Amino acid sequence: MKRIAVMTSGGDSPGMNAAIRSTVRVALNEGMEVLGIINGYAGMTEDQMVNLDSRAVGDILHRGGTMLGTARCEYFKTAEGRRQALDNLRRRGVEGLVVIGGDGSLRGAKLLGEMGLPVVGLPGTIDNDIWGTDYTIGFDTAVNTVVDAINKLRDTASAHGRVMVIEVMGRKSGWIAMTSGLAGGAEQILIPEMEVNLAEICEQLRISRSNGKKYSIVVVAEGVEGASDIGDRIIAETGLETRVSVLGHIQRGGSPTVFDRILASTLSEQAVLSLKSGASGVMFGYEKGAVVAVDIGEAVENKKEIAPGMFRLAAVLAK
Ligand code: ADP
Ligand code: F6P
């Protein structure tokens, strides 16, 4: 294999740059050339690609976002779009592809692999909702950002004796809410994976106030319901002074943590080495302290569950 391509796709996540850097430098070390595809599948269908040498990926390891850009591309979801993308890659002599992205991006990668191009996927999303890996690239940075925000919101909630409702990202998944809520000491954590009984939650907020708690932190995953509606409901049912904060895209940015840099660098190394040795249709993940290869099809078809133990522990610790 003489030439591979690398791309980032879907929502950006901190550590994508570390993954691009590692992919390029490991490939160069193995005697391969690397093309960078601009703006994910959009750039692939529009033939926007640049040659990446070692210097091109300098000064990016510590930066959030992605130097290649990313996009969401409806055209690639069509058979015609994928055919055009593959034609562009073939014309440029690309013999293997590394796709860094979330669930949708990996679905696209699987389809390209089935068309005959060797493809390896890496889980890159803040949502941590990819089966086959304990952690996705960017999740650790995102939850650290959220916990930092919870700490700050706690200061002002405490000062005023308020209920602070904090909405976090995650699309349909509650991983960001569960993890940051547990680490940030939230009294209530609302996630789409668990039935949410708002009347019961309001009752618990009332009880905790009468038991001496001076303020409350409620973390809501965006996949449950808008935090502002939940805040209104809490005010209506408890009469407690309540404020709502929607953290939004701040969760996607920032310098990647050490964990995300190392995760991105090691998974990318395996992606390149496996392409070189003839692999295709696999995603590299990190499970129980080791790098693992899983079938991309299994990664996108299975749902990663949130351990109920986390939920139970958060409830106990919030008492
Ligand atoms: P993420 O990768 O973060 O989950 P998206 O779901 O938006 O983000 O997917 C990113 C891109 O991957 C989409 O814009 C589209 O180009 C491609 N994609 C998503 N789902 C599919 C699919 N089922 N088939 C082909 N391509 C897909
Ligand atoms: O998948 C990452 C993510 O940040 C989700 O948590 C969120 O729902 C979505 O992307 C937001 O997408 P956009 O940047 O297109 O608003």
| Active-site residue, selected from the candidate residues 127, 129, 140, 260 | 127
Residue 277 tokens read as: 């040795």
The pTM for the full model equals 0.98
Which ligand 2 atom is at minimum distance from the Cα of 126?
2
276-282: list long-range contacts, CB under 8 Å, 24+ apart.
276/1, 276/30, 276/32, 276/96, 278/118, 279/118, 279/120, 280/96, 280/113, 280/117, 280/118, 280/119, 280/120, 281/110, 281/113, 281/114, 281/119, 282/120, 282/121
Chain segment 245-296, per-residue pLDDT in tens: 999 999 999 999 999 999 999 999 999 999 999 999 999 999 999 999 999 9
Chain segment 40-68, per-residue pLDDT in tens: 999 999 999 999 999 999 999 999 999 99
Residue located via tokens 């740059």: 17
State the CB neighbour count (10 A cutoff) for residue 133: 23
Cβ atoms of 258 and 135 within 8 Å: the answer is: no
| Domains of the chain (ranges, CATH numbers) | 3-138+256-301 (3.40.50.450), 140-252 (3.40.50.460)
CA distances from 236 to 144, 203, 296 (A): 32, 12, 46
Strand (E) positions, the chain? 3-9, 33-37, 49-51, 96-101, 119-123, 163-168, 188-190, 216-221, 242-246, 282-287, 290-295
> What is residue 308's predicted lDDT score, i.e. its pLDDT?
87
Proportion of the chain above pLDDT 70, given as a percent:
100
Is residue 319's pLDDT more than 90?
Answer: no
> What is residue 86's predicted lDDT score, i.e. its pLDDT?
98
Cα–Cα distance for residue pair 122/284, rounded to 1 Å: 6
CA atoms within 13 A on the CB side of 251: 28
State the CB neighbour count (10 A cutoff) for residue 164: 23
Residue located via tokens 């309540």: 242
> What is residue 116's predicted lDDT score, i.e. its pLDDT?
97
Secondary element (H or E) of residue 106: helix 103-114
Instruction: Label the pairing between strands 290-295 and 33-37.
Output: unpaired
Residue 125 has phi, psi (to 5 degrees) of -165, 145
Proportion of the chain above pLDDT 90, given as a percent:
98
The 10 Å CB-count burial string (b at 16+, else e) for 302-317 is: eebebeeebbeebeee
* Separation of CA 222 from chain center: 14
> What is residue 164's predicted lDDT score, i.e. its pLDDT?
98
Across the chain, mean pLDDT equals 97
Chain segment 12-21, per-residue pLDDT in tens: 999 999 999 9
Cβ atoms of 76 and 45 within 8 Å: the answer is: yes
Cβ atoms of 102 and 129 within 8 Å: the answer is: yes
The finding on whether 102 has its CB within 6 A of some atom of ligand 2 is: yes
Which ligand 2 atom is at minimum distance from the Cα of 252?
4
Binning the chain into helix, strand and coil, the percentages to the nearest 5 are: 45, 20, 35
Cα–Cα distance for residue pair 139/43, rounded to 1 Å: 25
Residue 73 tokens read as: 């591309």
> What is residue 268's predicted lDDT score, i.e. its pLDDT?
98
Chain segment 169-219, per-residue pLDDT in tens: 999 999 999 999 999 999 999 999 999 999 999 999 999 999 999 999 999
> What is residue 144's predicted lDDT score, i.e. its pLDDT?
98
Which ligand 1 atom is at minimum distance from the Cα of 42?
16
Distance between Cα 121 and ligand 2 center (Å): 19
> What is residue 249's predicted lDDT score, i.e. its pLDDT?
98
Residues whose CB falls within 8 Å of the CB of residue 202, separated by 6 or more in sequence, listed in order: 233, 234, 237, 238
Mean of pLDDT values over 104-132? 98
The finding on whether 127 has its CB within 6 A of some atom of ligand 2 is: yes
The residues lining ligand 1, judged by C-beta closer than 6 Å to any ligand atom, are: 9-11, 41, 72-73, 76-77, 101-105, 107-108, 111, 125
